[in-house]
Amino acid sequence: MHHFTYRQNQLFCEELPVAAIAAQHGTPLYLYSRRTYRENFQRIDQAFAPWPHQICFALKANSNPQILRDFAELGCGADVVSVGELQLALQAGIPPQRIVFAGVGKRDDEIIAGIEAGIRGFNVESEAELAVINELAGRRKKIAPVSLRLNPDIDIHGHPYISTGRAADKFGIELNRAHALFAEIRDSRHVRMVGLHAHLGSQITDLWPFPKIGEVLANLAQAARAAGNHLDYIDVGGGLGAIYERAMKIAADTEPAPDLALPPAEIANTLLPALTRDLPKDCTVIFEPGRALVAGCGILITQVLYTKITRGKFFAVVDAGMTDLIRPSLYNAYHQIVPVIQRPGEWQSGDVVGPICESGDFLAKDRELPPMQRGDLLAVMTAGAYGFSLSSNYNARPRPAEVIVDGATMLLSRPRQKLETLWAT
Ligand code: LLP
């Protein structure tokens, strides 16, 4: 559930009116509901309770330090893909034993940082990377924990940019190389096999891929163990989708509304039996959601700068653009846009566009839009995942501020980037 509601035509985040927060902190502004992301973690964590498990938050979705600290406190681990994310996770208090390190292009210094930190495992994406980890660990007289990220060649039919588990995608190792590598790792001196990993892609809204990946990984686990490897974990990846369309029923939403595309319990109930049929209980199941934990908890608040009609077409020019939220421009992704304060009047079709000097800079295209005027505030819904984390300084625009609401209190978690920092080195 997300905790954005309307009370007497005013958008609230938990117990606070969004307009008042924007008045204090300015726009564009990312606003997060703490209750939403904490409840999402607890819901997913409880769903996996039937088996020893670890939820590892994919930091790439949102690495706000306060959100990370909250997840750390709740017992969440981390899926990291760079030394930067590794540092953030450790700094937030996530113990190294709850951290897995993925990514097709790990640099030597990043591998060394992971080894030194004592992470739970590297999710290795190629044979070449395996050799490098073995060598780097050897030079330090250490044994690095490795897990193989296998490419299961399953097509989830999502947007091609966010589908990662097809044979043609750059991620992971081909399934038919797995057996040879199980033997190679067993016989290597400076790597120890600790697990298996697969990740199908993002924004999964059907249940079927989860038992399917469970089945594939169960067979591989059997083979890995038969080859003499002990498995500490099986990492089933992330991918659980969020609700983007009709995230809010305007005016009618006085109660918290659902924000996950599938109930986590249904995922666990179909995935775990397939995956764990022959697995010993000391093998932890890792699930590494990013979007599902944070998408619904966040909105981007933006102010209408100008409205105009060009050749009969209505444009709302707002102060947030692709530098703040790139998903519409990059994936043609849909984000619902709602008024922060509803005003009476006619709805009309049009585009919501940003101030960036690119025609691809839009937040909504050909959308039925509520009545609005210069100065009005709009909320771009479901922006907590891959929003701020994908923001940029293009057009020399500072990154937006991030505020977290907890009940009736708010915390300025990350101030708006200062203009001076744009030329600081
Ligand atoms: N694990 C691995 C290895 C991943 O590559 C990803 C996401 C996740 C977990 C988390 O996936 P999630 O649960 O969030 O679906 N920027 C895109 C999404 C890119 C996802 C990349 N990998 C977007 O805004 O839709």
Summarize pLDDT for 8-35 with one digit per residue, the tens: 999 999 999 999 999 999 999 999 999 9
Does residue 357 have an active-site annotation?
yes
Which domains does the chain show, CATH number per domain?
4-12+22-27+296-423 (2.40.37.10), 34-291 (3.20.20.10)
Distance from residue 187's CA to the centre of ligand 1 (Å):
33
Residue 156 has pLDDT above 90, yes or no: no
163 CB under 6 A from ligand 1?
no
Q: Give the separation between CA 32 and CA 53, rounded to whole angstroms.
A: 27
Element housing 424 (H / E) = none
| Segment 87-105, tens digit of pLDDT | 999 999 999 999 999 999 9
pLDDT in tens, 186-232: 999 999 999 999 998 999 999 999 999 999 999 999 999 999 999 99
Please state, in angstroms and rounded to a whole number, the distance separating the CA atoms of residues 194 and 121.
7
DSSP state at residue 395: G
Atom of ligand 1 nearest to the CA of 288: 9
Residue 239 Cβ inside 6 Å of ligand 1? The answer reads yes
The residue-averaged pLDDT of 63-81 equals 98
Distance between CA atoms of residues 3 and 34, nearest Å: 9
pLDDT of residue 256: 85
Burial category of 273 from C-beta neighbours within 10 Å (exposed 0-12, middle 13-18, buried 19 and up): middle
Whether 62 is in the pocket of ligand 1, judged by its Cβ within 6 Å, is no
Ligand 1 pocket, mutate which of 291, 294, 380, 382 (most atoms under 8 A from CB): 291
Q: Which atom of ligand 1 is nearest to the CA of 385?
A: 24
Catalytic residue among 13, 76, 283, 357: 357
Query: What's the whole-number mean pLDDT along residues 313-324?
Result: 98
d(CA 175, CA 383): 35
> Could you tell me if the CB of 79 is within 6 A of ligand 1?
yes
d(CA 81, CA 107): 11
pLDDT at 162: 62
Q: Cα–Cα distance between 133 and 96 in angstroms, integer?
A: 18
Asked whether the predicted pLDDT for residue 181 surpasses 80, the reply is yes
Residues 6+ away with beta carbon under 8 Å from 22:
29, 301, 303, 340, 377
Residue nearest to ligand 1 atom 23, measured at CA? 386
202 lines ligand 1 (CB under 6 A): yes
**Atom number, ligand 1, closest to the C-alpha of residue 333:** 25
Q: Give the mean pLDDT of the chain.
A: 95
pLDDT cut 90: percent of the chain above it: 90
pLDDT of 272 reads 98
Is the per-residue pLDDT at 130 higher than 70?
yes
Ligand 1: residue of 54, 57, 60 to mutate (most ligand atoms within 8 A of CB) is 60
- Quick check: helix, strand or coil at residue 234? strand
Q: Which residues share a beta bridge with 144?
A: 191
- Evaluate whether 124 touches 140 at the Cβ level (below 8 Å): no
Q: What is the pLDDT of residues 351-377, one digit of tens each?
A: 999 999 999 999 999 999 999 999 999
364 Cβ inside 6 Å of ligand 1: no
Q: Is the pLDDT of residue 171 over 80?
A: no
- pLDDT single digits (tens) 230-262: 999 999 999 999 999 999 987 667 788 899 999
Atom of ligand 1 nearest to the CA of 203: 15
Residue 333 has pLDDT above 90, yes or no: yes
**Which of 156, 159, 202, 260 has the most ligand 1 atoms within 8 A of CB, as the residue to mutate?**
202
Quick one: pLDDT band at residue 424, thresholds 50, 70, 90? confident
- Is the pLDDT confidence value at 139 over 90? yes
Per-residue pLDDT at 319 exceeds 90: yes
Per-residue pLDDT, 212: 94
Q: If you average pLDDT over residues 43-58, what whole number do you get?
A: 98
Q: Is 289 near ligand 1, meaning CB less than 6 Å away?
A: yes
- Give the residue-averaged pLDDT of 385-412: 98
What is the number of the ligand 1 atom nearest to the C-alpha of 204? 15
Lookup: tokens for 7: 């009370």
Contacts of 388 (CB under 8 A, 6+ apart): 30, 62, 64, 298, 324, 399, 400, 402
